[in-house]
Amino acid sequence: MTPDLVLLGFVMPKKNGVAVIEDIRKYWHTSKVLVYACNKAENYIPEVFQAGADGCLLNDASTEHFIAAIKYISAGH
């Protein structure tokens, strides 16, 4: 079973978000990836997109932006 959308926290204890995005792309080619990152991780945003993420939100994003990003990415943009 392949998820339609993966909501991924960028900072994790054992593996960084870029490596996880690369793994997701390897096994779930069609899944959309939305990264949820803390403001401290904003320097990594270019790497997030290079790894194959479809979108990225910083943790200070409003609920409205969060929902809009999910809808936008789910629609294939």
CATH number for 5-74: choose from 3.40.640.10, 2.40.110.10, 3.40.50.920, 3.40.50.2300. Answer: 3.40.50.2300
In this predicted structure, what is the pLDDT of residue 41?
A: 67
- State the average pLDDT over residues 12-23: 86
Looking at residue 38, its amino acid is C
For the chain, how big is the Rg over CA atoms in Å? 12
- pTM here is 0.85
Burial class (CB in 10 A: 0-12, 13-18, 19+), 47: middle
The residue written with tokens 């809808």 in the block is 71
pLDDT 10s digits, 27-76: 998 999 999 887 666 777 888 899 999 999 988 889 999 999 999 999 98
Asked if 77 and 50 touch (Cβ cutoff 8 Å), the reply is no
Distance CA 53, CA 23 (A): 11
Distance CA 77, CA 75 (A): 6
Per-domain boundaries in the chain? 5-74
